[in-house]
Amino acid sequence: MTLAHAGARVVALVNDQERQQSYAVFRLGAALRWRVPVWTSTAVRRVAGRGRLAGVEVADVRTGASRFVPCDTPVFSGDWIPDHELARLEVRQDDRLLARSRRVRLIPGRSAHLGADWLPWVDPAGGPVHVAASA
């Protein structure tokens, strides 16, 4: 359920990145359907109120200029990961697909987990086993 379905009036989506990460068609659809502005290069700096929330202070991450936005409920996400940053790990031998992982985020210098349930399918007389990332 989205906030709009719950009856909330969304003031803005705040994103500290220079541009919104979702696909253009989704940005356009959201802009036309819900008419919610996306404030890029902006971060929440302070949540203000005494006993009850009065609003949040947001700041431009490039210039530091800040402004106060009255609201009664800030909603924070857990760092949404755009689809174009996700990949599937595939294990192949002799052009046969042995395993495919669910979508994972590949981060340089970090390992990604792929279970070993595909090992019984490896042909010892076959060619080399290749692990690759695919979109």
* pLDDT of the chain, 135 residues: tens digit per residue: 467 677 888 888 888 888 776 777 777 777 787 788 888 899 999 999 988 899 999 999 999 999 999 998 888 776 665 555 667 788 889 989 888 877 676 666 666 767 788 888 888 898 888 888 776
Q: What are the beta bridge partners of residue 14?
A: 39
pTM: 0.53
Determine the pLDDT at residue 108: 66
Give me the domains of the chain, ranges plus CATH numbers: 13-70 (3.50.50.60), 83-134 (no CATH)
CB 46 within 8 A of CB 53: no
Residue 30 makes CB contacts below 8 A (sequence gap 6+) with 22, 36
Determine the pLDDT at residue 107: 65
Query: φ and ψ at 99, to 5 degrees?
Result: -160, 150
